[in-house]
């Protein structure tokens, strides 16, 4: 397919935050048209009925999950579904000749036992897990090119790995010393109602959750182990903050030798050279979630503590864009051989 050909896209899970964000972002894509929005729970109703911000933008009725119907309407399927659902759907869509980009965690972990331990249910069949390309675009982009099955990384994972991968790969930090302190807005918990995200519980509150139990831990360790060439175990804690969007990951690690923050700046700029969505801050400057709000950017800054021999790396993303829908579109672009920025060339919302 050439860039002049319009690609038809279906979105399964269109009524979740990730699915709705895909609809919004794809409106700006020059080569993609959303031709099917899918929800098993509200099929037959207009998508804009539940999401008035889509009035006059997306007027489609929601489809049910019907492989033959979707095959007749689409070339690519985005699976913005809860964990455990995509593994039941992806094989049928792939067998029907559709490209599949999965935003859930079902195909991220290559070890089935690890998946069952952290996700608490049976893993997908190994042949499908092995087929899925892990779509951390700035690290595995070459593998994404030409792929018909892409597993989109998690939001915390993306934010943490982009901050740590170059230093681990270069041997500049001790992987065993890594501590990641991550904070997310409430949209990261999904659209479903829950006690923990009730307004009265989250407003004017700041709390840790899933301490040492978050499912993104083995995903982070899987990639860092590959970078280090040996097994890596990290300390990772997530926090919920009273804002809608955004992730900040503050990562700490012991340096393998004395270095200045400016050296890390140069290392990272070389590593991410030519990649449009990672912005490396000058020494002495650090990012904030507001600087990436509504965008596909990941911003990274550094501070070296000469007293302790440790480095602090601060990274921020919008969890619904770079952490989900935006990176999924970036992976679609790469898989098609297009410029990875197509449909994603917009500035963050500020203030």
Distance CA 287, CA 260 (A): 18
Tens-place pLDDT, residues 59-105? 889 999 999 999 999 999 999 999 999 999 999 999 999 999 999 99
Q: Which residues pair with 238 in a beta bridge?
A: 182, 209
The whole-angstrom separation of Cα 154 and Cα 145 is 20
CA distance 215 to 152: 14
- 36 has a pLDDT exceeding 80: yes
Q: Please tell me the predicted confidence (pLDDT) of residue 202.
A: 84
Residues 6+ away with beta carbon under 8 Å from 269: 280
Whether residue 300 contacts residue 278, with contact meaning beta carbons closer than 8 Å, is answered with yes
Contact 41, 344 (CB under 8 A): no
For residue 4, what pLDDT band results from cuts at 50, 70 and 90? low
What is the secondary structure of 46-111 as a DSSP string? BHHHH-GGGTTT--PBPB---HHHHHHH-SEEEE---TTTHHHHHHHHHHTT-EEEE-SSTTT-S-
| 109 within 8 A of 115, measured Cβ to Cβ | yes
pLDDT digits (tens, 9 = 90+) for 126-144: 999 999 999 999 999 999 9
- Work out the percent of the chain whose per-residue pLDDT is above 70: 98
198: helix, strand or coil: coil
pLDDT of residue 35: 97
Mean pLDDT of 171-188: 97
What's the pLDDT score for residue 1?
Answer: 46
Q: Is the pLDDT reported for residue 226 higher than 70?
A: yes
pLDDT of residue 2: 47
pLDDT at 51: 93
Over residues 296-321, mean pLDDT: 99
pLDDT score for 194: 76
- Pick the residue with more confidence: 40 or 35? 35
Encode burial over 6-43: b for 16+ CB neighbours within 10 A, e otherwise: ebbbbbbbbbbbbbbbbbbbbeebebbebbbbbbeebe
CA torsion sign for 279, 345, 316, 137 is negative
DSSP 157: H
pLDDT tier at 193 (50, 70, 90 boundaries)? low
Residue 40 has pLDDT above 90, yes or no: no
Question: In angstroms, what CA-CA distances link 31 with 110, 195, 245?
Answer: 32, 41, 27
CB distance 263 to 256 below 8 Å: no
Mean pLDDT within 321-332: 99
What's the predicted TM-score (pTM) here? 0.96
Domains identified in the chain and CATH numbers = 7-131 (3.40.50.720), 156-319 (3.30.360.10)
Q: How far apart are CA 120 and CA 263, in angstroms?
A: 42
By DSSP bridging, strand 149-151 and strand 99-102 are: parallel
The answer on pLDDT for 334 being more than 60 is yes
| Catalytic residue status for 155 | yes
Weakest mean pLDDT among 25-29, 188-192, 290-294, 299-303: 188-192
- Distance between CA atoms of 187 and 282, rounded to whole angstroms? 30
Q: Check whether 3 has a pLDDT greater than 70.
A: no
Greater confidence, 192 or 253? 253
Catalytic hit among 155, 248, 300, 316: 155
What pLDDT does residue 198 have?
80
Which whole number is the average pLDDT over 174-186?
98
């Amino acid at each position: 397919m050439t860039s002049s050909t319009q690609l038809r896209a279906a979105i399964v899970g269109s009524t979740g935050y990730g699915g709705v964000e895909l609809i919004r972002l794809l409106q700006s894509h020059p080569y993609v048209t959303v031709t099917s929005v899918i929800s098993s729970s509200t099929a037959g109703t207009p998508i804009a009925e539940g999401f008035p911000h889509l009035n006059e933008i997306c007027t489609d009725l929601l489809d049910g999950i019907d492989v033959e119907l979707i095959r007749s309407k689409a070339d690519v399927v985005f699976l913005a579904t809860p964990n455990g659902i995509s593994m039941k759907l992806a094989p049928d869509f792939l067998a029907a000749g559709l490209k599949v980009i999965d935003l859930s965690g079902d195909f991220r972990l290559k070890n089935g036992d690890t998946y069952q331990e952290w996700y608490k249910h049976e893993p997908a069949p190994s042949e499908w897990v092995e087929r899925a390309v892990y779509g951390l675009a700035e690290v595995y982009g070459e593998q994404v090119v030409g792929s018909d099955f892409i597993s989109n990384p998690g939001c915390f994972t993306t934010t943490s790995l982009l901050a740590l991968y170059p230093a681990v790969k270069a041997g500049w930090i001790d992987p065993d010393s890594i501590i990641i302190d991550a904070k997310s807005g409430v949209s990261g918990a999904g659209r479903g109602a829950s006690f923990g995200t009730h307004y009265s519980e989250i407003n004017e509150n700041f709390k840790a959750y899933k301490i040492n139990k978050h499912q993104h831990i083995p995903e982070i360790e899987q990639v860092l182990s590959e970078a280090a060439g040996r097994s890596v175990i990290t300390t990772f804690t997530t926090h919920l903050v009273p804002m809608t969007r955004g992730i900040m990951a503050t990562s700490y690690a012991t340096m393998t030798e004395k270095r200045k923050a400016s050296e890390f700046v140069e290392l990272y700029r070389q590593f991410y050279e030519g990649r449009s969505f990672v912005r490396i801050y000058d020494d002495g400057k650090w990012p904030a979630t507001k600087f990436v709000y509504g965008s596909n950017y990941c911003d990274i800054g550094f501070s070296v503590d000469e007293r302790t021999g440790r480095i602090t790396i601060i990274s921020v993303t919008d969890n619904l864009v770079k952490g989900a829908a935006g990176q999924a579109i970036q992976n679609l672009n790469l898989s098609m051989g297009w410029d990875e920025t197509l449909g994603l060339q917009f500035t963050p919302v500020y203030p």
